[in-house]
């Protein structure tokens, strides 16, 4: 059995868990105090790493305050990855005082914390790089999508539609897009919205050739994210008119645009054999 095997074993009960001595703690109480097993303390005693200073009249091991301090030092050095034999040599160095040990422990712990923080940052960047959807920093998202953009929107959308096949398709495509790609997408979207608003102001009638062409441009813009059928587009049209968030966005471009866009989409869907009133997400 190796020392590591011993240290992984649970605390035991027996004579060492008995009553404490007058000036210290038994091995059972010491083990509970410092968070190691009784078997570990037995092993450290056997190899001379931490030996209890006293024993009671009944033979119980008794650890003093200095013994417990030494145990804590062992735990710190062990956390730093030092083998037990080297830890013993360090602690038994006659030329080093307690404050020297504490300063050395603190310095080594600070170095380890710094390395761990660097590793956490690297893992965070790896998680962000592997996250489905928009692979832009929050600052880049605001720069590209505008000051009203909320970076949390992508996470909210994933929570709402993350289980759908369309979201999976969108995630694959979005993961491969660069900041320049998103800039081009936003430019095309803004141009489409401007043309939709202008057509609404000009009184373009739903079902007309011009309106149908705009409906197809709209469907093509959605198809850039996932394959969008005319039935799906009809479902989106209902959402644009009924959802206050979407309606507010479109109506801010041109009053009444949300309902008009729904009607345009519905009329074009009928041309392609889809009943928009009963259309479902396919």
* pLDDT tens-digit map of 170-187: 777 777 777 777 778 878
- Residue 45 sits at the vertex; the CA angle it makes with 43 and 48, to the nearest 5 degrees, is 110
Residue 131: pLDDT band with limits 50, 70, 90: low
Average pLDDT of the chain, as a whole number: 78
Instruction: Please tell me the predicted confidence (pLDDT) of residue 280.
Output: 86
Question: Closest Cα partner for 80 from 50, 46, 115?
Answer: 115
79 pLDDT above the threshold of 50: yes
pLDDT of residue 152 exceeding 90, the answer is no
The pLDDT, as a whole number, for residue 122 is 60
Q: Taking the model in full, what pTM does it have?
A: 0.47
Range picked from 7-16, 100-109, 116-125, 183-192 for highest mean pLDDT: 183-192
Residue 10 reports pLDDT greater than 50: no
Higher pLDDT, 159 or 23: 159
- What pLDDT is attached to residue 4? 43
Average pLDDT over residues 135-142: 58
Highest mean predicted confidence (pLDDT) among 53-62, 188-197, 245-254: 188-197
What's the pLDDT score for residue 117?
A: 78
Query: Stretch 190-196: mean pLDDT, rounded?
Result: 92
Taking alpha carbons only, the member of 28, 27, 29, 16 closest to residue 50 is 27
What integer pLDDT is reported at residue 119 of this predicted model?
72
pLDDT top residue among 97 and 259? 259
Closest to 52 measured CA to CA, from 76, 36, 68: 68
pLDDT of 232 > 80? The answer is yes
pLDDT at 251 over 80: yes
User: What per-residue confidence (pLDDT) applies to 108?
Assistant: 78
Using CA atoms, how far apart are residues 86 and 103, in angstroms rounded to an integer? Answer: 18
- Domains of the chain and CATH, by start: 3-92 (1.10.1660.10), 138-271 (1.10.490.50)
Residue 73 has pLDDT above 50, yes or no: yes
Q: Which one is predicted more confidently, 152 or 24?
A: 24
When pLDDT is averaged across residues 28-48 and rounded to a whole number, the result is 91
Per-residue model confidence (pLDDT) at position 136: 56
């Amino acid at each position: 059995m190796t020392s590591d095997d011993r240290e992984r074993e649970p605390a035991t009960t027996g004579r060492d868990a008995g009553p404490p001595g007058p000036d210290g703690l038994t091995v059972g109480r010491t083990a509970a105090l410092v968070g190691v097993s009784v078997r570990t303390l037995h092993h450290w005693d056997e190899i001379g790493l931490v030996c209890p200073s006293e024993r009671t009249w009944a033979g119980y091991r008794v650890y003093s305050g200095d013994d417990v301090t030494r145990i804590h030092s062992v735990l710190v050095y062990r956390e730093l990855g030092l083998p037990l034999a080297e830890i013993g040599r360090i602690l038994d160095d006659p030329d080093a005082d307690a404050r020297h040990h504490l300063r050395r422990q603190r310095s080594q712990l600070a170095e380890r914390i710094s390395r761990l923080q660097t590793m956490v940052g690297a893992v965070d960047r790896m998680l962000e790089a592997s996250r489905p959807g928009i692979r832009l920093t929050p600052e880049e998202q605001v720069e590209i999508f505008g000051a009203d953009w909320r970076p949390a929107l992508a996470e909210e959308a994933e929570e709402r539609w993350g289980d759908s096949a369309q979201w999976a398709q969108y995630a694959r495509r979005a993961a491969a897009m660069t900041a320049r790609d998103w800039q081009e997408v936003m430019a095309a979207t803004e141009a489409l919205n401007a043309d939709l608003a202008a057509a609404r102001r000009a009184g373009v009638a739903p079902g007309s050739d011009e309106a149908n062409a705009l409906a197809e441009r709209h469907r093509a813009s959605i198809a850039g994210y996932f394959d969008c059928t005319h039935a799906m587009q009809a479902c989106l049209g209902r959402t644009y008119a009924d959802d206050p968030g979407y309606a507010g966005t479109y109506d801010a471009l041109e009053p009444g645009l949300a309902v008009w866009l729904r009607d345009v989409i519905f009329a074009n869907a009928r041309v392609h054999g889809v009943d928009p009133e009963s259309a479902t997400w396919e």
